[in-house]
Structure 1
Amino acid sequence: MCSSGGPMADIDLKKLKTKKYHCKDCGNSFKGLGKKVVCPSCQSDNVEIAE
């Protein structure tokens, strides 16, 4: 197995502060994290925070 950076870390994804997003292009709803969120379905960055 190849890796770059440092050692692998076990991350509990349930503890991360994700937000719910809605894609304006394909209508997909998903949870995202980070500054540049893209839709996992169509790869569009035309997303908004769902309320």
Structure 2
Amino acid sequence: MCSTGGPMADIDLKKLKTKRYRCLDCGNDFKGLGRKVICPSCQSDNVECKE
């Protein structure tokens, strides 16, 4: 068996600081995290932060 990286971290997703975003292409409202946020519906990176 082959593996890469270390053991999986036990992350509590509810404690992560997510922001609300709106996709300017399809109008989807969603929560995102990170520097390069992509709409989960249409995969566009044309999004704006609502906070």
Structure-1-length-normalised TM-score: 0.88
Alignment of 1:1-51 (within 5 A): 3-51=3-51
Provide the aligned length of Structure 1 versus Structure 2: 51
Name structure 1 gaps, 5 residues minimum: none
- Identify the range of structure 1 (30-39 vs 3-12) with the bigger mean alpha-carbon deviation: 3-12
Counterpart amino acid of 2:32? Answer: G
Cα offset, 1:3, TM superposition? 4.5
Runs of 4+ off more than 2 Å: 1-4
Q: 1:2 to 1:50 in 2, by over 3 A?
A: farther
CA RMSD of aligned residues (A): 1.7
Q: Tell me the percent identity.
A: 82
Name structure 2 gaps, 5 residues minimum: none
Based on CA coordinates, which of the two structures has the bigger radius of gyration?
A: 2
Q: 1:2 to 1:29 in 2, by over 3 A?
A: farther
Structure-2-length-normalised TM-score: 0.88
